[in-house]
Amino acid sequence: MRYEEIPAPEPGDGDVLVRVTAAGICHTELHFLSGLLDLGVAPLTLGHEIVGRIERVGAGVDPRRTGERVVVYYYSGCGSCPSCLRGEENLCDALRAEHGFVTDGGFAEYVRAPARNAVPLPAGVGDAEAAPIGCAVTTAVHAVNLARVGLGDWVAVYGAGAVGFGLVQVARLRGARAIAIGRTPARLEAARALGADAVVRAGVEDVAARVREITGGRGADVVFELVATRETMDASARMLAKRGRLVFVGYSEDAFQIHPIQLVVGEQVVAASVGNTLAELRLAVELVAAGRVRTVVDRTLPLARFQEGIDALAAGGLVGRAVLAP
């Protein structure tokens, strides 16, 4: 990654120009930097957890929106494919933009986005505090919806990072009981403070056996995989209840392997969750504004010190997000 001066974008018809005030560093950034995730666009400004202030509006946009504080929805779908027609822009066949993925994102002073992607942010939520809403919280809302987490379910959250903190809280809002799994005590304590019903220390305890014990032998009705290494995927499969749903949110270099007989005898489902819809982002903003979901920000850094944030994330030294303040 390089820090450089580039021309500020101009808002086109229907766009807003957002002066970025906070941009969270997601673990996905590390997948871009390692080359595991390669969407074929370079150079590119990363950053998809974007908060800022509308500085200017393009033609056709209500000029009264100037000055509005917003969170940016990072997908911009074609509007006419079957997925878009269902409101599922995260699955669009012909994306117009995906900020921080294939379109310039929030690790910059300015980002240009369609006006409808600029979701108003209530005054009570601070800029840095709001940054993780744009991916971590809204990804959790989407994944919990997709897995149909319900009343009384046992939900294992494998990986107590920023998305995991969102999942623990959103799963509990659906009436489920959440088990956070991680290696670092400080992150597990944070998960507990956010409402986790139980925590399991990976690397010290047999994770799958411990989840079986906590759930009275039943196993987890839903496992959210945020790590997805060979070791964690094996444990995830072993902790899954009958009719359990193993949902991939995170990934690593490792491939997933399972014998179908295990799925067959328990009627288990393997699924995956990507991104979120605009409606889910709006809901995520409401949940944080109402104090029903809290975000966790480890530190805020000026844009020029982006590398410190990336390095701290890679080293496993953060509890929650590092947020850049351009």
- By a kind-dependent CB cut-off of 5 to 8 A, residue 316 interacts, out of ligand NAP, Zn ion, none, with ligand NAP
Q: Does 187 bind ligand NAP (CB under 6 A)?
A: yes
Beta bridge partners of 180: 157, 199
Q: Could you say which residues in the range 28-47 bind Zn ion, by CB under 5 A?
A: 28
Closest listed residue to residue 173, CA positions, set 199, 146, 151, 143 = 151
Q: Which region among 6-14, 91-99, 106-114, 178-186 touches ligand NAP (by CB under 6 A)?
A: 178-186
Among 18, 50, 57, 84, binds Zn ion (CB under 5 A): 84
Q: Does 277 bind Zn ion (CB under 5 A)?
A: no
Return d(Cα 124, Cα 139) in angstroms, integer.
22
For residues 160, 72, 47, 97, the Cα torsion angle rounded to the nearest 10 degrees is 120
Q: Could you say which residues in the range 164-223 bind Zn ion, by CB under 5 A?
A: none
- By a kind-dependent CB cut-off of 5 to 8 A, residue 92 interacts, out of ligand NAP, Zn ion, none, with Zn ion
In Å, how far are 122, 182, 200, 288 from 128, measured between CA atoms?
13, 25, 29, 13
Among 77, 250, 309, 326, binds ligand NAP (CB under 6 A): 250
Q: Which is nearer to ligand NAP, 74 or 110 (CB)?
A: 74
The residues, any chain, with a CB within 8 Å of residue 245's CB and separated by 6 or more, are 147, 148, 221, 222, 223, 268, 269, 270, 271
Main-chain dihedrals φ then ψ at residue 45, nearest 5 degrees: -85, 115
Among 50, 57, 131, 135, binds ligand NAP (CB under 6 A): 135
Return d(Cα 223, Cα 269) in angstroms, integer.
10
Q: Does 26 bind Zn ion (CB under 5 A)?
A: yes
Q: Does 28 bind ligand NAP (CB under 6 A)?
A: yes
Q: Name the site residues for ligand NAP (rule: CB under 6 A).
A: 26-28, 31, 135, 139, 159-164, 181-184, 187, 202, 226-227, 229, 232, 249-251, 273-275, 313, 316
